[in-house]
Amino acid sequence: MLDIRVIRENPEYVKERVRLRGGDHWMLVDKVLECDVKRRNAETEKQALSSERNSTSKQIGQMMKEGRREEAEALKARMSAVGERIKELDAVATAAAEEQENLLLNIPNMPHDAAPVGADETANPELRVWGSKPELAEPKDHVQIATACGLLNFEDAARISGSGFIVYRGLGARLERALINFLLDTQTQENGYQEVGVPFIVKRECMYGTGQLPKFEEDMYGLEGNSMFLVPTAEVPVTNLCRDRILKESDLPVKMTAYTPCFRREAGSAGRENKGMIRVHQFDKVELVEICRPEDGFAELEKLTGHAESILQKLGLHYRVIELCTGDVGFSSAKTYDIEVWAPGQGKYLEVSSCSCFTDYQARRMKLRYKDADGKMRVPYTLNGSGTALPRLYVALLEQCQQPDGSVRIPAALVPYFGADSIAPVS
């Protein structure tokens, strides 16, 4: 969440930055300040009355010793009223604090000052392109390729789970497993991330910690009355490994990677442009998470994005990088780069990774802090990125590496994991 001190000191700046996202979240800023004033006034009066009650208690004791019983009883009666007032003020302060926190949880992060300004994805600038589009006379889409090669079965998935799910078969399942191992080995052995294995179910407070709740609850798969959730991304369990903790500056940066399946309802995602593997309810992903000093945050974002890009470069897949504008950047993010891989069978780019710096927004929600070299308590920055998401990587690999005879060429970097250099159509 946003730092209340920043809101107090420069509310107009906060409103201006949040307003650039679109919507009316910026209007909550004034309500936060109203709650803040009410809470602080109640706490100030409460502290003054508590101090008065403490000093008066000593006076009452002295009066009783001196036999001034009548005066002591009068003061006792007065302190009884003071005690009732303290209870009232405590209730006011607690209610104001709870309302203030609820409001803060519903205000998105402020976009970075240098973020491109725009209303939606049409304003996202292209920053760079790697490689070139493969020359294919009549490119097939991944559904045609996978069906011909016996890799995937959407009908079986629909029979057991409904639409928006995938069954991998034979070499299709082996290819998925090979990609997961390739991604993890690249990030751990070459880019310095520690692999962690995490639960695929998280508590409700973890979803608040990384910002999925309260805004996106309808998109999540909830359990036990929504007290727990299937993970929508490994970002949630991995980042929350550090919730409610005080780290040492020497611990930073913390760099972790994890494979998890991800579960999202993806409401309203039906349509031709989302057929096959492009938008599904359950998919595999390898996530990159970093916790670092604030002064290193945006430089680390550049490195993390490069680590995600390295996957596509090793596989020889053409892609581009765009920066999200103020109206398209995610709820918790201050700055985001999307990596989009080319899918010739679709005739368009598909987002395969989203790399973000959340500044101290998530850390405040998780009550994550660190102690610097001078012993001062500070709030770190958190970052994450897909390293990468599997379905669209799978789509791009099949479609970019398709051959005229219907086979699929396996990129050289993946051959040791897959065990072959091509996949032929089934007879």
Q: How many helices (H) and strands (E) does the chain have?
A: 13, 18
User: Is 351 annotated as catalytic?
Assistant: yes
Catalytic residue among 300, 353, 392, 399: 392
Residues 82, 52 contacting (CB under 8 angstroms): yes
Catalytic residue among 333, 354, 356, 386: 354
Residues 6+ apart with CB under 8 A from 168: 151, 152, 175, 176
User: Is 39 annotated as catalytic?
Assistant: no
**Residue 331 main-chain phi, psi, to 5 deg:** -55, -45
Q: Distance (Å, rounded) from C-alpha 312 to C-alpha 305? A: 12
b/e 301-327 (16+ beta carbons within 10 angstroms → b): bebbbebbbebbebbbbbbbbbbbbbb
| Cross-strand partners of 223 | 228
Catalytic residue among 264, 290, 300, 386: 264
Helix axes 28-65, 69-105, angle to 10 degrees: 160
User: Is 8 annotated as catalytic?
Assistant: no
Residues 335, 304 contacting (CB under 8 angstroms): no
Catalytic residue among 279, 290, 333, 399: 279
Catalytic residue among 351, 378, 407, 409: 351
**Residue 26 main-chain phi, psi, to 5 deg:** -60, -25
**Long-range Cβ pairs for the range 50-57 (8 Å, 24+):** 50/86, 52/82, 53/79, 53/82, 53/83, 53/86, 56/82
Residues designated catalytic: 264, 279, 351, 354, 392
